[in-house]
Amino acid sequence: MVTEAPSRGPRVAALRSVRQTATTTPGRLSVAAAALIALTVVTGVFAAITLQAKKDTLADLVSHREPLAAAAQLIFRSLSDADATAASAFLSGGAEPAALRERYEFDIAQAGAALGKASSDVGADSMAAQQVDVLSRQLPVYTGLIETARANNRQGFPAGAAYLREASGLMRSQILPAAEKLYQINYQRLTAEQEDARSFPWITALLAVALLAALVVTQLWLTRKTNRLINVGLAAATAAVALALIWGTAALLIESTYVRGAERDGSQQVDLLVQARINSLKCRADETLTLVARGDGKSYEEEWAALAPTLAGPDNLLSRAAATASPELAGPINDAVRDAEAWVAAHRKIRELDDSGQYSEAVTLAIGDAPDSAAMAFASLDRNLIAALDAGRAEFTSQTATAENALTGLVPGVIVLALIAGVGTTAGIRARLREYR
């Protein structure tokens, strides 16, 4: 014969008692209080965590992510400029000008420092680690080849040009692609954080709306039961939740607006300008290496012809940047557009001189300091691109910092308002429960 477990009877009785209590008004009030307090705690904790994470993301964008993207871009710029400067110095013949030597050494040192900074955030990203490894291994090889080319050139040995082309080939085939990929990885991380920063926390908002609706429904039910129009505790709780919802929504909309502004006027503009600068540096190296090759530089000139339209052709990178530029960026970008056009005109003359056998005149126009020389046009273009990049970075920092300021006080404010809502709910329902004793 099967007997019922001794403990089952008390459990069944306890459950029956709970169900019976829940059917009474005091029981329903207790259940409502427990549910409201639980929902208040969940909403408050979730909101505080979500909002603090968003604030941390904004702070990280300014202090960490954007500087790393800038460092990765600086690696490419410095190495490209070093390659172009080495070729320009080689064209000078014999002892290279001290200014070009100093510029080359500064570029290499700057690239090394930027590489150290960029490599500090590689983490578990195998693709980024691979690019850093390529840069770390191949950069000493490149500088060694350049020194060998210089030594040969000083002694008048023709092998110097071969070593220079080998060094430039290493730079273009391995080092610069790795630097460009590293920049792209960092820029993608930057845009991902911006997207996260401007996204609206819908789950938090839905929890707050659900809590607000539950408080309103509870008060309407109490009004029907007690014929009292206002429950002070629940009214205070409702006001606290409504204030938190309005404050949070307004702050997040303002924050999102400024993050979008930082992206539109800052990081997106900077990315266009970085692409333009990368292409300009490639073109400068192509221009000088074509002359170094002395009739064997067809591939360099072909690359120039492919890249030049991105600087001075229809719908080029600079004109696209200028079309949406803020006033702070418009000035240097428009100046860069004029510089690019002047450079293209100077390059056309260089090719005419070189192709007609006037090599010395072509070299002078390429690296000389005459107002209409390619070197002067390129130098002015690079200065204006740097000014525009600095302005774009400043715009990014300013608008992102303003977005972070929009959330100032929101996290502690939400916590305090959640506590007020919890206390108000408890006090309001307790007052009604006392009437049944």
pLDDT tens digit string along 44-82? 999 999 999 999 999 999 999 999 999 998 998 899 889
pLDDT tens profile 5-18: 555 556 555 445 44
Distance CA 168, CA 189 (A): 30
351-354: list long-range contacts, CB under 8 Å, 24+ apart.
Answer: 351/301, 354/290, 354/291
Look at 61-65, 95-99, 235-239, 328-332 and tell me which has the smallest mean pLDDT.
95-99
Sign (positive/negative) of CA torsion 363, 365, 370, 371? Answer: negative
| 288 Cα distance to chain centroid | 34
Q: Could you tell me the CA-to-CA distances from 214 to 23, 34, 42, 225, 246 in Å, in that order?
A: 19, 12, 14, 16, 17
Q: Please state the three-class secondary structure of 371-434 as a single string.
A: CCCHHHHHHHHHHHHHHHHHHHHHHHHHHHHHHHHHCCCHHHHHHHHHHHHHHHHHHHHHHHHH
- Write down the number of H helices and E strands in the chain: 17, 0
DSSP string, 292-322: HTTS--HHHHHHHHHHTHHHHSTT-HHHHHH
For residue 23, pLDDT beyond 70:
no
**Tens digits of per-residue pLDDT, 376-392?**
999 999 999 999 999 99
Task: Give the residue carrying structure tokens 């013949």.
Answer: 93
Question: What number of other Cβ atoms are within 10 A of residue 17's Cβ?
Answer: 10
Which residues, in sequence order, are CB contacts of 263 under 8 Å at separation 6+?
Answer: 191, 194, 198
Count CB atoms within 10 A of the CB of residue 82. 27
Cα–Cα distances in angstroms (integers) from residue 222 to residues 32, 85, 212, 219, in the given order = 11, 82, 16, 5
Structural Rg of the chain based on CA atoms = 34
pLDDT for residue 2 is more than 60? no
Question: Which residue from 368, 187, 185, 174 is spatially nearest to 272, judged by alpha carbons?
Answer: 187
CA distances in angstroms from 234 to 211, 214, 220, 222, 231, listed in the order given: 12, 11, 11, 10, 5
Instruction: Give the predicted TM-score (pTM) of the model.
Output: 0.82
pLDDT of amino acid 12: 53
Position with higher pLDDT, 401 vs 293:
401
Residue 156 DSSP label? T
CA–CA gap between residue 288 and residue 325 (Å, rounded): 32
Which two structure tokens, joined as six digits, stand for 175? 């080092």
